[in-house]
Amino acid sequence: GQSLEQPSEVTAVEGAIVQINCTYQTSGFYGLSWYQQHDGGAPTFLSYNALDGLEETGRFSSFLSRSDSYGYLLLQELQMKDSASYFCAVSNYGGSQGNLIFGKGTKLSVKP
Amino acid sequence: EPEVTQTPSHQVTQMGQEVILRCVPISNHLYFYWYRQILGQKVEFLVSFYNNEISEKSEIFDDQFSVERPDGSNFTLKIRSTKLEDSAMYFCASSERGRTYEQYFGPGTRLTVT
């Protein structure tokens, strides 16, 4: 079977740093994506790792270790608007097809 | 900025009825997808579509479902005979060639089956 595990909820304060972990077990793996979804909204792409290491995009960074089947999303300088659900998603095909298999999501609550 | 659009935003239907959900993907994208999300749960892949044919489909996408690209802009999902458990938010998404990990999602259609 295919599974992605991530914490269901995380709470942090404004200005803090939070890390959301994701472990995966899938048949075929090309990369790990992260999506943000505000309540009532659509998923929005944040970041993608195909190779081991850290990818940085502004306040957000994502890390991948293929050997450990593990990745994380790091959010720095948290703002209230970062309160949302964050999903890791595996691409188990190469760039030519690429349906995404999503984790169950981590609900991040940012407190003042 | 180009975006994926979906209509209607909310559809209420009776069990056993057929529904068609419509999507207009981003114009230069070549890959199209349908996902669904039951309230409070994860996003689930239904089907991917490329070059006018289904690329892949999940176990959820059974014979009750079909997709079509009737013209150069629209992409539709049809559910032939809706069941109560089909109630969910349905998202259409599209992506560029070679960047299928970066999918652009529409705002969704909330389907309620009564």
How close B88 comes to chain A (CA, Å)? 12
- The predicted structure's pLDDT at residue A1: 66
Whether residue A96 has pLDDT greater than 80: no
- Average pLDDT estimate for A74-90: 97
Structure confidence by residue, pLDDT tens digits, B30-77:
999 999 999 989 999 999 999 899 988 999 999 999 999 988 889 999
How far from chain centre, in Å, is Cα B21?
Answer: 7
CB contact under 8 A, B103 and A100: yes
B64: left (phi over 0), alpha (psi -120 to 50) or beta: alpha
Is residue B12 within 8 Å of residue B72, measured between CB atoms?
A: no
Residues of A in contact with B98 (CB under 8 A): 95-96
Task: Determine the Cα–Cα distance for residues A64 and B80; give it in Å rounded to an integer.
Answer: 41
- Average pLDDT estimate for A55-68: 95
Task: Determine the Cα–Cα distance for residues B23 and B5; give it in Å rounded to an integer.
Answer: 6
- Average pLDDT estimate for A72-94: 91
pLDDT band, very low/low/confident/very high, at A97 (cuts 50, 70, 90): low
User: CB-based contact (8 Å) between A91 and chain B?
Assistant: yes
Structure tokens at A50: 């195909």
Q: What is the DSSP string of chain B?
A: ----EEE-SEEEE-TT--EEEEEE--TT--EEEEEEE-TTS-EEEEEEEETTEEEEE-TT--TTEEEE--SSS-EEEEESS--GGG-EEEEEEEE-TT-TTSPEE---EEEEE-
Q: Which residues pair with A3 in a beta bridge?
A: A25
CB contact under 8 A, A99 and B105: no
User: CB-based contact (8 Å) between A107 and chain B?
Assistant: no
- The predicted structure's pLDDT at residue A93: 62
- The predicted structure's pLDDT at residue B3: 94
Whether residue A33 has pLDDT greater than 80: yes
> Which H or E run contains A14?
none
User: CB-based contact (8 Å) between A70 and chain B?
Assistant: no
Residues of B in contact with A97 (CB under 8 A): 31, 48, 50, 55-56, 100
The alpha carbon dihedral of A66, A20, A107, A7 has a sign of: positive
Backbone angles phi, psi at A36, to 5 degrees: -110, 140
- The predicted structure's pLDDT at residue B33: 95
DSSP code for A108: E
Nearest CA in chain A to B38: A104
Whether residue B1 has pLDDT greater than 90: no
Q: B101, B103, B109, B110: best mutation site toward chain A, by most A Cβ within 10 Å?
A: B101
